Structure 1
Amino acid sequence: MEPVLALMEVHVKDKEKFAEYLKGHMPTIDQYGGKVTLRSEGIESIEGDWLPKLFVMQEWPSVEAFRKWYASKEYQPWKDLRKEACDLKLTLVRKL
């Protein structure tokens, strides 16, 4: 199994719902073997025009582990809340 990183650019629309989402979905990440390795709002663009307000990185043991969590019944209510709370761009990157 190859480790994978989930890279997320987050645009928060509703701070209260987003705070609830952050608190509630973390146990599901732990349950499926993932971990948040970076959450940053202190971002500086050096080249190009990419400047996310919030950037999050999760590490997973494999693509399969991430996909199992993402489709899990435990995460679904939190995913629905996340869609109300923020817009998200999500990319998976295999670690070398």
Structure 2
Amino acid sequence: MPSAYLIASVTVTHPAQYDEYRKWSTEAMRVHGAEVCVRGGPVEILEGDWDPQRTVILKFPSVAAAKAFHDSPEYRRARAAREGAAIMRMVVVEGV
């Protein structure tokens, strides 16, 4: 079964409030066994006009596992904490 990657591009608008989201999302990742591949860090544009502020990439054993994480009570709590603190763009991609 192929793995899956949850990829998020985040624009943080209220850093102090976003810290609360990070606390709860970290717990949700732990509970659901997400492998953190990228969480923030400097971004260097190589091509195009995409300029993400913050990038997060999480690895899961399957698309179903990534969706279960996203729909879980633990991550719903994180999303509620994030409301108004960031603009989130998120996709799940099947890996190889």
TM over 0.5: yes
Give the conservation status (yes or no) of the 8 Å contact 1:4–1:60.
yes
TM-score (norm 1): 0.89
Give the aligned partner of residue 18 of structure 2. Answer: 18
CA distance in 1, matches of 2:40, 2:71: 26
TM-score (norm 2): 0.89
Give the aligned partner of residue 69 of structure 2. Answer: 69
CA distance in 2, matches of 1:30, 1:54: 20
Over aligned residue pairs, what C-alpha RMSD do you find? 1.3
Give the aligned partner of residue 84 of structure 2. Answer: 84
State the percentage of identical aligned residues: 27
Give the conservation status (yes or no) of the 8 Å contact 1:41–1:53.
no
Residues paired across the two proteins, number: 96
1:34-66 deviation per Cα after TM superposition (whole angstroms, max 9, x unaligned): 122112341121211011111111111111111
| Farther off after superposition, 21-30 or 49-58 | 21-30
* Structure 1 residue ranges, 4+ long, deviating more than 6 angstroms after superposition: none
Structure 2, unpaired ranges of 5+ = none
Could you tell me how far 1:81 is from its partner in structure 2? 1.5
Aligned partner of residue 75 in structure 1, secondary structure: helix
Give the aligned partner of residue 52 of structure 1. Answer: 52
Give the aligned partner of residue 42 of structure 2. Answer: 42
Could you tell me how far 1:95 is from its partner in structure 2? 1.1
